[in-house]
Amino acid sequence: MAEIFPFAAWRYNPARVKWEHVLTQPYDKITPEMQQRYAALDAHNLVAVEKGLATPEDSPGNNVYTRAAAKLEEWSRADILVRDAAPAIYAYSQEFHLPGGKTRKVRRGFIALCRLEDFSAGVVFRHEQTLSAPKADRLELLRHTRAQTGQLFMLYSDPARRIDALLAEAARTPAATEMRDEYDVVHRLWPITDKANIARITTVMADQKIVIADGHHRYETALAWRDECRAKLGSDNPDAPWERAMMTFVNAQAEGLSILPTHRVVANVAGFDFAAFRRALQPHFDWYAYPFTDTAERATAWEDFRRDFSARGKERRALGLYASRPSSGQGEGAFYLFLLRADANLGDLLPGVSAAQRGLDVVLLHRFVLEKGLGITAAAVVAEKNIRYEREAEKALAAVDSGTAQMAFLLQPVRVEQVFEIALGGEVLPQKSTDFYPKMLSGIAIYWQGQGNRE
């Protein structure tokens, strides 16, 4: 079902630049501080293309999009960016440790072009909704540059790990690109040009259904660009460069595939009363408190809570909670572990929610605990009126300690099997349910449609 193609990527020339000075995190992870830092590293840093700096003098003829296109042209003329001599599929590995973890992991995938398919075709599946503003920004950038510099992260399912074996074989040779990023992730890239190995990969992928892990906005942008080009020409050309997009494919059964939870921080709930909230949950949840009265006890309580949250969460549906206690003395508080009771009827608690969705802790939190227990509606969640999101649990807890939040809900990560079940079933997860870690570098390979990429 998935049509995969090798391509001759544009890549940074190691004779002219240092990769660690020019490659960036994905555009949606680049903060204003990171923009400034990247720009200061090297005049050829990809941030000028991926997420350029706006200026007060910007105009329709001179803005972040026109400057991005000009930079690509300038860098190609100066051999800062050079195109590979032969079409390839690129083995891409990331060596990393999870935030707070000590064991190093390796995630392997491959970069290739893939034919763009409408979601209705039953080949590509999404697991989250998209927002209009990011798509408008990415489409305007694509119109000007005709280049895809960031990776669409796609999942496929191959329990036999046939492609993984080829990628591991490629990794036995020196990498063409190797660098360590600011999160201590080591990225390595190997072009695979052997036609027999390319054929093996395309054959395995031919009957695959693929799920977008990261990059929903960019995938829909690529579809919109394809449709614009089709309309402009008045016909379809299946071999046109805009009919394909650059993607990184990772086997859902591969070692190193990691999803982090995104915790919820709750604020501005009128009339909030923690004791009343806890009593309202008691008919449906068993709960355990981990109290503390000073800093030393807090550290012990946190470790005890984390241990039980991880262990008990494998046995029962578990939610972690940390709440402000305005009536307590300074330095006092507690962590709470809420375990869904064995006799709880999810059909009654979550009416109108599919069985697959009812299996998700994040849905239980949003549709029952937040909506029914606190009155935080789905519309309020989308507007982020009462909710904000934190990847790191410590930051969520700090918001409560500082008084800027009333509660922090801690979650277990969604399993990749659940992502597949939801996506292939035609459903989507709540906003910010999955955080695939680590992120893939932008600029490690570039698909530049404006430079004759017609394989």
pLDDT of residue 454: 37
Per-residue confidence (pLDDT) for residue 451, from 0 to 100: 58
What is the spatial distance between Cα 292 and Cα 301, in angstroms, rounded to a whole number? 7
One pLDDT digit (tens) per residue for the chain, 455 residues: 899 999 999 999 999 999 999 999 999 999 999 999 999 999 999 999 999 989 999 999 999 999 999 999 999 999 999 999 999 999 999 999 998 788 899 999 999 999 999 999 999 999 988 778 888 999 999 999 999 999 999 999 999 999 999 999 999 999 999 999 999 999 999 999 999 999 999 999 999 999 999 999 999 999 999 999 999 988 789 999 999 999 999 999 999 999 999 999 999 998 888 888 988 899 999 999 999 988 899 999 999 999 999 999 888 999 999 986 544 444 578 999 999 999 999 999 999 899 999 999 999 999 999 988 888 988 888 788 899 999 899 999 999 999 899 999 999 999 999 999 999 999 998 888 999 999 999 999 999 997 544 33
In SS3 terms, the chain reads as: CCCEECECCEEECCCCCCHHHHCECCHHHCCHHHHHHHHHHCCCCCHHHHCCCCCCCCECCECHHHHHHHHHHHHHHCCCEEECCCCEEEEEEEEECCCCCCCCEEEEEEEEEEECCCHHHCCEECCCCCCHHHHHHHHHHHHHHCEECCCEEEEECCCCCHHHHHHHHHCCCCCCEEEECCCCCEEEEEEECCHHHHHHHHHHHCCCCEEEEECHHHHHHHHHHHHHHHHHHCCCCCCCHHHEEEEEEEECCCCCCEEECCEEEECCCCCCCHHHHHHHHCCCEEEEEEEECCHHHHHHHHHHHHHHHHHHCCCCCEEEEEECCCCCCCCCEEEEEEEECCCCCHHHHCCCCCHHHHCCHHHHHHHHHHHHHHCCCHHHHHCCCCEEEECCHHHHHHHHHCCCCCEEEECCCCCHHHHHHHHHCCCCCCCCCCEEECCCCECCCEEEHHHCCCC
> Which pLDDT value is given to residue 324?
67
* Confidence at residue 432, expressed as pLDDT on a 0 to 100 scale: 86
pLDDT at 331: 58
pLDDT at residue 431, as a whole number: 81
